[in-house]
């Protein structure tokens, strides 16, 4: 029975997370706008991802509603119901429309379900293959490794696990159990994590699907990257380069410094949202539902990943100015409406930051903090070989096509790309702006480069089809597509795959450490709250055990590491000689691969030492069994 129930729960959970809450809202907010099935599915996924974590954030922090399965399911059903009612109201639904005399079921079905042509079926098949390729490329680093790859992933693991188990948003650092410490300014504060929206999304996904955390961190990034390929297709399809955009978008690289789609990190989710924002402001700027739609998306992005929200805001401002310019130069009534619409959209973009600033207003000061020293910055040139070289001449060609185009949206895309590239250059050369924003802008710039390269590739394909049409007649389009595939696409894919296989990734723990941490989680009483470990293991220890680590390597590059990091290394190197030092710092567990020379500590498992249980577990009276030679003569004191 379990073999049937578990897959059904996963399928139902994935539908509830990625489709059910957002689908009605696409009809409610874009009721009078025509969307293809794929466009609607992409927007439904974006709204579903945004609405539920945003609702959980507000309900938990404002009303104290717990974050659990019941709350999530009620919220999803409420959002779906409200969205459905709003969609019916927007489309002027009337009960008399259901009367038998006005209801032609077969006619409606024939109109709503158009036949799929052979060409359309081929495009769907090609898109499916591209999404599968994107899924595989982001899975490459995990083919022979079952655990989170990056320090940031372990942080998100610990944060999301705390939300899922405790049912509330933590105002402390789940890794150390202390107030949050900024690695750059070295300030401490009691507040939610500034990417709490992403942690709520992970917690929601785990609670609804019931999947193990390790499986989520292994496969969810690949699924999100496949959706990013779909969103790139959505952006380019109406201009005739949907497949090229999707394929080139699947080349966005992953590095330990700039992050990327192979990691379970917020910026990977942002790569899915960015093409959809481009699609919306390019095609639905005048829609009445656009301000509300952008308010929902940006509000989530501001609590999930501030750099993505700021980048999306830049897109909205640039596209809004270009979209409004022509209308503002026409008759006065049209000018007023255009300017009023622009003011509304920009006001909504500013308003969407309020949920974040209400609880993390210190980010305003951090945004203008001093940048990292030059030696800690990574040159943006390092990303060039990872894209496969060939997209760059296509990108230059694409810029020329955008510059020559008379389309306002093409010029807006050109200006947006120039602005992002300029910021990247200014920060690296002169330290202008925020270091985190610089690192993420490399990925956004890579995505823009690849989308524009896809646009140029479609232009090359059409030019070849025109050139070959006198000889090939009806087969010119297929011949041109074949030439582009062989001459451009396959070499780009090959070079990109090679760079992914050669990339080095963090591997903080192995099977031995994982099994040890699981033993600690399952066998020590809850009174053992904090452990002294090698700082490299600190975040993994906290994520797996649900307990705290005295010291952990910072999740971000910083000029100064917390003093606890070096202190922990020294104490472990010396064999943890002073048990009182542990007690003063609330440490009751020592995990060390070195020999521990302390008669007050009891070895209860390989590499696991603890203070006597009568000090720690008096309330629970939990029995702890020693699996290896204890430092003391017996373990009776642990009982």
pLDDT digits (tens, 9 = 90+) for 596-624: 888 889 999 999 999 986 666 754 544 44
pLDDT the model gives residue 512: 94
How far is Cα 603 from Cα 607, in angstroms, rounded to an integer? Answer: 7
Label each residue of 300-334 as H, E or C: HHHHHCHHHHHHHHHHHHHHHHHHHHHHHCCCHHH
280: how many CB neighbours lie within 10 A of its CB? 27
Mean pLDDT (the chain) is 82
Contact 57, 355 (CB under 8 A): yes
How far is Cα 325 from Cα 334, in angstroms, rounded to an integer? Answer: 11
Residue of higher predicted confidence among 372 and 25: 25
Tens digit of each residue's pLDDT (9 = 90 or more) over 544-601:
999 999 998 886 655 556 788 899 999 999 898 888 999 999 999 999 988 888 888 9
CA angle 481, 487, 493 (to 5 degrees): 95
Per cent of the chain over pLDDT 90 is: 48
How far is CA 8 from each of CA 164, 210, 213, 226, 613, rounded to the nearest angstrom?
Answer: 21, 11, 18, 22, 43
pLDDT the model gives residue 2: 64
What is the DSSP annotation of 101-160?
GG--HHHHHHHHSPPPPHHHHHHHHHHHHHHHHHHHHHHGGGTT--S--SHHHHHHHHHH
Contact 174, 162 (CB under 8 A): yes
pLDDT the model gives residue 414: 95
How far is CA 240 from each of CA 246, 455, 480, rounded to the nearest angstrom?
Answer: 12, 8, 14
Token representation of residue 110: 């024939």
Does the pLDDT at position 272 exceed 90?
Answer: yes
How far is Cα 498 from Cα 352, in angstroms, rounded to an integer? Answer: 41
**Hunting for tokens 């723990």 — which residue is that?**
509
| CA-closest candidate to residue 254, choices 442, 114, 109, 429 | 442
Q: Kindly indicate the confidence band of residue 438, based on its pLDDT and cuts at 50, 70 and 90.
A: confident
pLDDT the model gives residue 628: 39
Range 40-54 average pLDDT: 95
Residue of higher predicted confidence among 181 and 97: 181
């Amino acid at each position: 029975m379990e073999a049937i129930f578990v897959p059904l729960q996963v399928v139902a959970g994935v539908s509830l997370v990625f489709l059910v809450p957002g689908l009605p809202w696409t009809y409610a907010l874009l009721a009078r706008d025509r969307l293809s099935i794929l466009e609607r599915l992409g927007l439904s996924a974006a709204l579903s991802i945004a609405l539920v974590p945003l609702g959980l954030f507000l309900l938990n922090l404002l009303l104290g509603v717990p974050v659990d399965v019941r709350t999530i399911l009620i919220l999803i059903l409420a959002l779906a119901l409200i969205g459905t009612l709003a969609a019916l109201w927007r489309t002027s639904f009337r009960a008399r429309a259901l009367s038998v005399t006005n209801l032609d079921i077969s006619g409606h079905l024939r109109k709503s379900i158009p036949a799929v042509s052979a060409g359309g079926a081929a495009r769907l098949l090609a898109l499916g293959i591209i999404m599968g390729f994107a899924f595989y490329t982001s899975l490459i680093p995990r083919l022979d490794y079952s655990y989170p790859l990056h320090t940031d992933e372990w942080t998100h693991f610990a944060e999301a696990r705390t939300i899922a188990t405790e049912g509330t948003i933590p105002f402390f650092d789940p890794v150390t159990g202390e107030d949050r410490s900024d690695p750059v300014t070295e300030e401490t504060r009691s507040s939610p994590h500034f990417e709490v929206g992403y942690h709520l999304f992970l917690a929601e996904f785990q609670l609804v699907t019931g999947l193990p955390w390790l499986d989520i961190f292994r496969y969810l990034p690949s699924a999100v990257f496949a959706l990013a390929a779909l969103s790139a297709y959505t952006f380019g399809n109406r201009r005739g380069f949907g497949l090229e955009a999707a394929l080139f978008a699947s080349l966005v690289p992953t590095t330990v410094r700039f992050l990327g789609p192979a990691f379970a990190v917020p910026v990977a989710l942002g790569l899915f949202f960015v093409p959809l924002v481009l699609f919306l402001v390019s095609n639905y700027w005048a829609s009445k539902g656009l301000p509300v739609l952008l308010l929902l998306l940006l509000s989530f992005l501001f609590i999930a990943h501030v750099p993505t929200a700021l980048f999306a805001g830049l897109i909205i401002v640039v596209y809004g100015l270009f979209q409004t310019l022509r209308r503002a130069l026409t008759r006065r009534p049209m000018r007023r409406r255009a300017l009023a619409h622009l003011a509304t959209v920009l006001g909504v973009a500013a308003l969407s930051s309020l949920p974040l600033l209400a609880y993390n207003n210190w980010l305003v000061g951090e945004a203008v903090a001093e940048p990292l020293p030059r030696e800690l910055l990574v040159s943006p040139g390092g990303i060039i070989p990872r894209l496969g070289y060939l997209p760059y001449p296509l990108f230059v060609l694409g810029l020329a096509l955008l510059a020559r185009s008379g389309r306002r949206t093409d010029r807006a895309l050109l200006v947006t790309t120039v602005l992002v590239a300029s910021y990247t250059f200014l920060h690296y050369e002169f330290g202008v702006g925020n270091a985190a924003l610089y690192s993420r802008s490399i990925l956004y710039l890579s995505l823009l480069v690849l989308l524009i390269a896809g646009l140029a590739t479609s232009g090359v394909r059409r030019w070849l089809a025109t050139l070959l049409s006198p000889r090939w007649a009806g087969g010119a389009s297929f011949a041109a597509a074949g030439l582009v595939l062989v001459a451009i696409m396959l070499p780009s894919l090959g070079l990109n795959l090679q760079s992914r296989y050669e990339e080095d990734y963090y591997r903080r723990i192995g099977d031995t450490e994982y099994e040890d941490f699981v033993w600690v989680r399952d066998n020590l009483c809850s009174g053992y709250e904090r452990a002294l470990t090698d700082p490299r293991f600190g975040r993994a220890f906290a994520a797996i055990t649900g307990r705290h680590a005295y010291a952990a390597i910072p999740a971000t590059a910083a000029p100064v590491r917390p003093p606890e990091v070096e202190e922990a290394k020294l104490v472990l190197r010396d064999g943890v000689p002073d048990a009182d030092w542990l007690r003063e710092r609330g440490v009751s567990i020592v995990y060390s691969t070195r020999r521990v020379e302390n008669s007050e500590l009891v070895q209860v498992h390989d590499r696991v030492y603890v203070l006597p249980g009568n000090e720690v577990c008096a309330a629970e009276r939990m029995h702890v069994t020693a699996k290896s030679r204890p430092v003391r003569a017996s373990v009776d004191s642990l009982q």
